[in-house]
Structure 1
Amino acid sequence: MAAADTEPYRREKSIQLRSSSSGLYNNLSVLVPPGRPLARLSTVHGASASVVSTTTDGLGSSHRQLPAREGGTALSTPVLTQAAWCVLPSRVLLVLTSQKGIQMYEADGSIMVYWHALDVAEHPPAEAVFARGIAAAGGRFVCVGTSSGLVLVFDIPPRGTNVTVSQVLEQHRDAITDIAAELGRAPDGAGDLVTADDAGTLCVWSSGEEFTLLSKIPAFGCTCSSVKLWNGLVAAGYGNGQIRLYEAASGALRAQVSAHARWIYALDLAPQTGKLLSGAEDSFVHVWKLSRNLDTDDVEIQHCHAECVTDTQVCGARFCDPEGNSFAVTGYDLSEIFRYGRA
């Protein structure tokens, strides 16, 4: 790890929620449409997702609550596991996952475009069934993970509701925790999608008409809760507080750092600068800087900033701009979203 640097961020006006945030991995999504003053943020709690549209200064906001769909049975109210915006060249969708299935909405949450029910009958009664892990990939696909280790690839039309499952990726044996797509410029053969599971196994894929497996990074006895992919590097956060950097093409370990004292719940990456954001159970949020020199093949991770979110089990952390000059944080049972900007 490179020597520490200082890039101060200051606390800004918080965004109030109508409910709190559940203690789930990656429980915050942020959408900042280019050239628009409004940002959208989403977090889930129980059977509903909170979608907040807010001005960049946080002074004005509107709220929408999206319920989990029952899925044809009213025996129990399904619990949402994640909400994330998927940005495709032709459209932006808000995707919700739950114990019953996968819901896709227009970006503002006003219209449900598609519903995919999970086949609960195929699983033993004592086995938990849910979807989790959401990412756009390959220009027209949305990939969603499941508790059985499958990754469903949805082919998204430029408009309308004719969404189809085009492929099912079958490499994981444990529940999917997170999925991420390439955010920078991948070197040739490096792949553009990474999937992670509860055991800690990572799979790197190349998207196309058919997704193909490029490398499989074995587990080492610890859950991988969050992953990002940037310039052919996989950044992975683990339950032991470590962040590890791997080569996407080969799966080789390039760097590791003991980033947190407790379980990492969220990672995010600013694609234009290579800044990495990490949040964990230890109440800390850290900003790191990733760099790779394509001429010398050197990979570095540099610490830039530490923020203690007092008495908060951080469960979501996201940059609010592609440069990484601002970020937002959610915490378990916290009824607001904390915002930070460069001092």
Structure 2
Amino acid sequence: MYHKEKSIQIKNSASALYNNLGVLRIAPRRLTYFTVVHANVVNMVSASWDGLNYSHRQLQSKEPNVATSTSLIMQAAFCVLPSRDLLVVTSQKGIQMYESDGSIMVYWHALDTPETPTAQAVFARGISAVWENYICVGVSSGAILVFDVPSKGSNITLSEVVEEHKEPITDIASECSGSQECIADMVSADDGGNLCVWKSGEEFQLLNKIPGFDMSCSSVKLWKGTVAAGYGTGQIRLYEAVTGILHVEINAHARWIYSLDIAPFSGLLLSAAEDSLVRVWHLTLTPETNTVEVAHLHNECVTDTQICGAKFCDGDGYAFAVTGYDLSEIIRYTQT
């Protein structure tokens, strides 16, 4: 179903972090931006759709009043809002927001670090654009920072801090299919595997809390009112967001899942794990019976590679890209 394309070389290898791949499709310019985190650097590649032209940029992790930062970057993700696209980078020191091409940093938010060192590390991780003007970022305390983003300029403000999780946030996802009022439009996951389902707005409302099983939920997605969650057990669970009813449990991988992605237009689900496998599934929702069915469509083995990032390159799931720990390339696959 998918075949391998020519790989895109990157300046540094990928760190072993969850969801370590960012993809943004720039249709008018026939470009795709990719980001991969390596230690305290974000490697950014702008690639033409024909695969012939590339340009590279590296973004350093920033710290106030420090010339060179050694702060480790935890994640880089593109946030697509109706009025603008931003690249958000999280680290042990704070949160940086850039224009989507990485050219200008428009905002910096420093994390509160305790004056006396604690056993608990401080970091930010889990990034998602939510609704029309919010970017939500998770932190190691379990809090979620809600930033209000104007349609242009750098006047970004921290509008709310949502505190429900007790363990470090691992991932945040949001979705609103079409223009109808979504009941649930954001889901957050933590190191204990707990999921919180939210409705965004002037104030974020907690709609539901789905308990974990003391096994980290590393990656989460939201699609048409269904939560897809990937766990350290190698399992994928599909829940109804509002009620928390478990629809499906799939023993998808032999090792820790590092990344999930959903192609919103086709219902394809991508899962990637430490077992070197990337799998493509197809989700079918039947509203009349309120059921979800899953079909397994495709397997791709990236030999001897601990996969740490996998993302569809478009909304239909026509192509996807994969990164692996210690691998200095982005591997791409397209439908045959």
TM-score range, shorter chain: over 0.9
For the structure 1 residues 10 and 123, does the alpha-carbon distance in structure 2 shift closer, same or farther, using more than 3 Å as the test?
farther
Matched, 1:233 2:226: yes
Match of 1:167 in 2: 160
- The secondary structure found in structure 2 opposite 1:300 is strand
The equivalent of 1:27 in structure 2 is 20
Are the aligned partners of 1:189 and 1:249 in contact in 2 as well (CA < 8 Å)?
no
Change (3 A) 1:263 1:123: farther
Whole-angstrom CA distance in 1 between matches of 2:68 and 2:8? 34
1:123/1:129 contact within 8 Å kept: no
SS, match of residue 114 in structure 2: helix
Distance in 1 separating the partners of 2:283 and 2:187 = 18
Aligned-pair distance for 1:186? 9.4
Aligned to 2:295: 302
1:263-296 CA-to-partner distances (Å, cap 9, x unmatched) read 0000001000110000000000000011111112
Once residues 73 and 150 of structure 1 are traced to their aligned partners in structure 2, the CA distance between those partners, rounded to angstroms, is 26
State which of 179, 203, 213 in structure 1 corresponds to 2:206.
Answer: 213
Unaligned runs of 5+ in 1: 1-7
1:112 aligns with 2:99: no
Q: CA deviation at 1:125?
A: 2.7
CA deviation profile, 1:288-333 (whole Å, cap 9, x unmatched): 0111111121211110100000010000000001000100000001
Aligned to 1:215, what secondary structure does the other structure show?
strand
> Structure 1 residue 58: deviation in Å?
1.8
Structure 1 residue aligned with 2:252, among 251, 254, 259?
A: 259
In structure 2, what is the Cα distance between the partners aligned to 1:221 and 1:72? 39
CA distance in 1, matches of 2:163, 2:116: 16
With structure 2 as the length reference, what TM-score do the two structures score?
0.97
Question: TM-score, with normalisation over the residues of structure 1?
Answer: 0.95
CA distance in 2 between partners of 1:333 and 1:281 (Å): 13
- Mapped partners of 2:108, 2:69: distance in 1: 18
C-alpha displacement at 1:34, in angstroms? 3.1
CA distance in 2, matches of 1:318, 1:190: 26
The answer on 1:337 being equivalent to 2:306 is: no
Cα drift, residue 61 of structure 1: 0.3
CA distance in 2, matches of 1:337, 1:324: 17
Aligned to 1:4: none
2:93 partner letter: K
Note the C-alpha offset of 1:187: 8.3
- 1:315 lines up with 2:308 in the alignment: yes
1:47 matches 2:47: no
Q: Does 1:184 align with 2:177?
A: yes
Change (3 A) 1:38 1:188: closer
Change (3 A) 1:332 1:123: farther
* Aligned AA (1:89): P
Aligned to 1:81: 74
Q: Check whether the contact 2:131–2:176 (CA below 8 A) recurs between aligned residues.
A: no
1:30 is paired with a residue whose SS is: strand
Structure 2 residue 15 is the aligned partner of structure 1 residue 38: no
Aligned to 2:279: 286
> What is the Cα deviation at residue 165 of structure 1?
0.5
CA spacing shift, 1:149–1:122, aligned 2, 3 Å: farther
Count of aligned positions: 336
Q: Paired residue for 2:191, among 194, 198, 212?
A: 198
Q: Please give the alpha-carbon distance, in whole angstroms, between the structure 1 residues aligned to 2:26 and 2:327.
A: 26
Give the stretch that moved more between structures: 66-75 or 217-226: 66-75
Q: Distance in 2 between matches of 1:187 and 1:293?
A: 18
Amino acid across the alignment from 1:92: D
Cα distance in 2 for partners of 1:75, 1:128 equals 20
Deviation by residue 1:34-65 (Cα, 9 ceiling, x = unmatched): 34311100010011101100011222100000
Identity %: 60
Which sections of structure 2, spanning at least 5 residues, go unmatched? none
Aligned counterpart, 1:11? 4
**Alpha-carbon spacing, 1:183–1:59, altered in 2? closer, same or farther (3 Å):** farther
SS in 2 for 1:13: coil
Task: Give me the whole-angstrom Cα distance separating, in 1, the residues matched to 2:101 and 2:67.
Answer: 27
Relative to structure 2, which stretch is displaced further, 273-282 or 33-42? 33-42
Going from structure 1 to structure 2, the CA distance change for 1:122 and 1:143 (only over 3 Å counts) comes to farther
Q: Secondary structure at the match of 1:58?
A: coil
Does the Cα contact within 8 Å between 2:19 and 2:75 map onto a contact in 1?
yes
Q: Per-residue CA shift, 1:160-209, capped at 9, x if unaligned?
A: 11110101110000000000001535986631000000000000000111
Contact 1:187 1:231 in 2 (8 A): no
Q: Which residue of 1 aligns with 2:270?
A: 277
